[in-house]
Structure 1
Amino acid sequence: MMAAEHAEAANIGSGNELISSCKRFVDAVDANNTIEAFQQGICVGQAQAVLATSCRNCPPEGVTAGQALRVLIAYVERHPNLMHKHIALLADDALAEAWPCTKPNQ
């Protein structure tokens, strides 16, 4: 699956996918919790980037960023000894474990 197909399958960037997150971000900023909002954005952005671009994962059509985040969270909770790794590396490992590609270079 090519990167463009990953992005389409994950619905990355659509209003349907992002508007509620945008609202929560604004709420966090309004509550003077900008660090939390910033960190949420990093987490979501890293998971979406890996979902859209990694050649190690082949998610089924229609997988959302929310699903990818749930997979990432579950993976880290099962492997707390890996929490020192960069979030993008954790996301890559988690998504590859959840949705491995069945053919090489897919």
Structure 2
Amino acid sequence: MRRLIFALIVMGLAFTSAKASTGNEVLEGCRLLAVTAFWPQAANSFRAGECYGVLMTWAREGRRLSGRVRSCIPSSVTAGQLAKVVVRFMDSEPSILNEDFTGIVIAAFALSWPCD
């Protein structure tokens, strides 16, 4: 099921014109965001910002998606909690790390917070 959802998302995102960041490129920034109570002042702070932007966008916009990729994240969930979910998903599925980071986020959210 996880692989099917992820495959559908990646196929849909494969046609974007800009070069998308991969899970590998953003993973360490997401790790910082997941464990740091303040904005990270480190070498990966750019990637933490990138992670934050993608997480917050899809936490809000996931409800607008349809089918199995739709997610319904409670408004009380913090950016740190979102990052922990995505990092855990990437750690559990290392074969996806070279895929588009946005697709990884959408898949992790859909699996963690499916809509009823």
TMscore range, shorter length: 0.5 to 0.7
* TM-score, length basis structure 1: 0.63
Count of residues paired in the alignment: 74
Q: Any gaps of 5 or more consecutive residues in structure 1?
A: 1-18
1:70 aligned residue (71, 75, 84) = 84
Larger radius of gyration: 1
* TM-score, length basis structure 2: 0.58
C-alpha displacement at 1:99, in angstroms? 0.4
Q: Any gaps of 5 or more consecutive residues in structure 2?
A: 1-36, 64-69
2:46 aligned residue (38, 41, 61) = 38
Task: Report the secondary structure of 2:73's partner residue.
Answer: coil
2:38 aligned residue (7, 16, 20) = 20
Equivalent residue runs for 1:1-106 within 5 Å: 20-21=38-39, 24=40, 27-28=41-42, 33=43, 36-55=44-63, 56-102=70-116
Q: Which runs of 4+ in 1 moved over 4 A?
A: none
Compute the RMSD of aligned alpha carbons: 1.6
